[in-house]
Amino acid sequence: MVTDRLKSSGIGFSTDEPLSHHSTFRIGGVADVAVFPSDIPELIQTIDILSGTKFTVIGGGSNIVFPSDGYRGTVVFTKALRNIVISENKITAECGVMMPYLSSAAMNAGLSGLEFLCGIPGTIGGGVRMNAGSYGREISDCIESCKYYDTEKKQICLSENNDLGFSFRSSIFADASLVVLSTVFALTADSQDEIRKKCDDILSKKRSSQPYDMPSAGSVFKPIDGIPAWKLIDECKLRGYSVGGAKISEKHAGFIVNTGNATSDDVKKLTEIIKDKVFALTGKIPEEEIIFLK
């Protein structure tokens, strides 16, 4: 059994772990097994132990909708992998580093380029996987290289930016067999005051325009032909529309929020309604940014 192998390895794990505790949406039943590797060697060892079984690797759970009836498999959490190394104008960050923390570390080192990450509540691993971004910047803009684990070949790989397949909210890591281990960011020197001002401006804009006070998974849909999804949702007069405990935010129509008792089915049904309405309006089906774990 997986738990026997994990126990003999000494890697920390739990059973019947509530996934809602690991989700910014605050949605999710229990996972059969949850594993909490303490460093990259343990992460790789965990993946090898789980080979041939159902498992997924998760960072901060900020763009994931966990199933309310639970996950029949193993969830590996990377949040303990938080080492960063700063050398001249470069920062190397492990996959579990939170993006706002990395942005703050860069600011303290007088390095500019990661200010836009200050308000994105996810880890570097997840951010690289989905090429996270905001206000016209993407994480791929600053990446020099990435080290990752190929779970099928059981090899640690190192690739430069151009070989990582970055596009809008995607990368080669959309293939679940490739797991981000660490990333090198190339930045530019600037004064801490200037960097702090940029971060403060971004946070102020986000807090005034986004539902920071309610559980969500961030922006739900990608733009269509350059038009932000929230504008199309507004045109469909869906702002404030709800299914069960899931509701299209009245503050920002691009967000679905959990009003207190939302289930994954509520969120899924609401996204399908949005897709149908936007398709009727534009003739195109919007593509989700959030991921429904199965």
- Residues recognised as catalytic: 169, 219, 287
- Backbone φ, ψ for residue 276 (5° rounding): -65, -45
Integer Cα distance of 229 and 256 in angstroms = 12
Integer Cα distance of 215 and 293 in angstroms = 17
Which residues pair with residue 288 across a beta bridge? 221
